[in-house]
């Protein structure tokens, strides 16, 4: 039986998170040579595993593994190359004690990742690719629906909305309905507005400011603003590596507005900020 407004937890594969607990920090593990902020730093299996160990030591809640860059203007990666980058890392980390998320839109990668032990599929296309819904409908894996206008190659070419919050909300509602129709329980679904994916800085700030409007039937919200160009615009053009403080501030803003998962590069700093915010919110150190 599907849960709607009564959803009390997020089912993330082998893991279950109560929605009234401390929100979660998702750490980014890009096994890519060309991601916008950390491209090439963790492009091999061994370097990726070392970085995963660091994320775990820093207190990460979910590890998000990506084999294909989705930065503006990036080209699609051949399937065999994405599988070769991602699957060995999933297999090696399967028993690390943390949920493994796979950042992919390809149904073949979804199936292979789930078979290898992944707990969450994080899809920038919102499961719009042919056979994507069928690839993930069965089982207990968490499914994150993200909004993106157009595609990575063209998404930042003059993005336009009449009402960005209403249009993103309508898209997410449509995709939720499709997953439900395929038999997916609400407890498995999370929503991501897609900050930076076909949006101007002002679009992103409007979405962040009005984040509560995107909460649907109690489904958890995932927010990813870490080191993104909107923060660079606010900071007068600072490069990604100099946007850490702004990234933490954006994460706290998202938490204040109802986000349950924040996807970040800088795990240790974000975990510290989140623990502080949570303790103040609950007026007790023991609540962290």
Residue ranges covered by each domain of the chain? 9-282
The pair phi, psi for residue 143, each rounded to 5°, is -135, 120
> Is-catalytic flag, 199?
no
Q: Give the per-residue pLDDT at 3.
A: 44
Average pLDDT over residues 208-219: 95
Catalytic one among 106, 228, 243, 257? 228
What is the pLDDT of the chain when averaged over all its residues?
92
Q: Give the per-residue pLDDT at 75.
A: 73
Kindly report, residue by residue over 36-70, the tens digit of the pLDDT.
Answer: 444 445 568 889 999 999 999 999 999 999 999 87
Q: Give the per-residue pLDDT at 236.
A: 97
Catalytic one among 106, 175, 199, 263? 263
C-alpha distance from residue 255 to each of 29, 220, 249 (Å): 22, 11, 10
Backbone φ/ψ region at 258: left (φ over 0), alpha (ψ -120 to 50), beta:
left
Rounded Cα distance, 68 and 34, in Å: 8
pTM recorded for the entire structure: 0.92
Q: Give the per-residue pLDDT at 231.
A: 98
Q: Give the per-residue pLDDT at 157.
A: 81
> Is-catalytic flag, 263?
yes
Average pLDDT over residues 238-252: 97
Rounded Cα distance, 21 and 288, in Å: 9
Q: Give the per-residue pLDDT at 184.
A: 98
Q: Give the per-residue pLDDT at 288.
A: 55
Residue 242 tokens read as: 């100099």
Any idea which of 14-18, 37-41, 182-186, 261-265 has the lowest mean pLDDT?
37-41
Of 278, 274, 261, residue with least CA distance to 27: 261
Is the CB of residue 40 less than 8 Å from the CB of residue 33? yes
C-alpha distance from residue 150 to each of 114, 126, 144, 158, 199 (Å): 27, 12, 18, 11, 10
Rounded Cα distance, 103 and 67, in Å: 7
- pLDDT of residue 94 exceeding 90, the answer is yes
For 9-282, CATH number? 3.20.20.20
Kindly report, residue by residue over 99-155, the tens digit of the pLDDT.
Answer: 999 999 999 999 999 999 999 999 999 999 999 999 999 999 999 999 998 776 666
Give the percent of the chain with pLDDT over 90: 83
Residues 6+ away with beta carbon under 8 Å from 201: 229, 230, 233, 234
């Amino acid at each position: 039986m599907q849960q709607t407004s009564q959803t009390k937890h997020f089912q993330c594969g082998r893991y279950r998170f109560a929605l009234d607990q401390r929100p979660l920090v998702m750490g980014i593990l890009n096994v890519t040579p060309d991601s916008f902020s950390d491209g090439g730093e963790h492009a091999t299996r061994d370097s990726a595993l070392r970085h995963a160990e660091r994320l775990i030591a820093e207190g990460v809640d979910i590890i998000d593994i990506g084999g294909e860059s989705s930065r503006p203007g990036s080209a699609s990666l051949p399937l065999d190359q994405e599988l070769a980058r991602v699957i060995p890392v999933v297999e090696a980390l399967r028993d690390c004690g943390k949920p493994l998320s796979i950042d992919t839109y390809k149904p073949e990668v979804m199936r292979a990742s789930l078979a290898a032990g992944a707990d969450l599929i994080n899809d920038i296309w919102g499961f719009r690719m042919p056979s994507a819904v069928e690839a993930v409908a069965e089982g207990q894996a968490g499914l994150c629906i993200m909004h993106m206008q157009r595609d990575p190659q063209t998404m930042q070419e003059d993005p336009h909305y009449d009402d960005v919050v209403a249009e993103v909300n309508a898209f997410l509602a449509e995709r939720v309905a499709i997953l439900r129709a395929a038999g997916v329980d609400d407890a498995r679904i999370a929503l991501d507005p897609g900050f930076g994916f076909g949006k101007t800085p002002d679009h992103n700030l409007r979405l962040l400011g009005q984040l509560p409007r995107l909460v649907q039937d109690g489904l958890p919200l995932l927010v990813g603003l870490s080191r993104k160009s909107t923060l660079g615009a606010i900071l007068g053009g600072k490069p990604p590596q100099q946007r850490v403080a702004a990234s933490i501030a954006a994460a706290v803003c998202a938490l204040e507005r109802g986000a349950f998962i924040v996807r970040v590069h800088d795990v240790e700093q974000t975990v510290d900020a989140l623990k502080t915010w949570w303790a103040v919110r609950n007026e007790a150190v023991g609540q962290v």
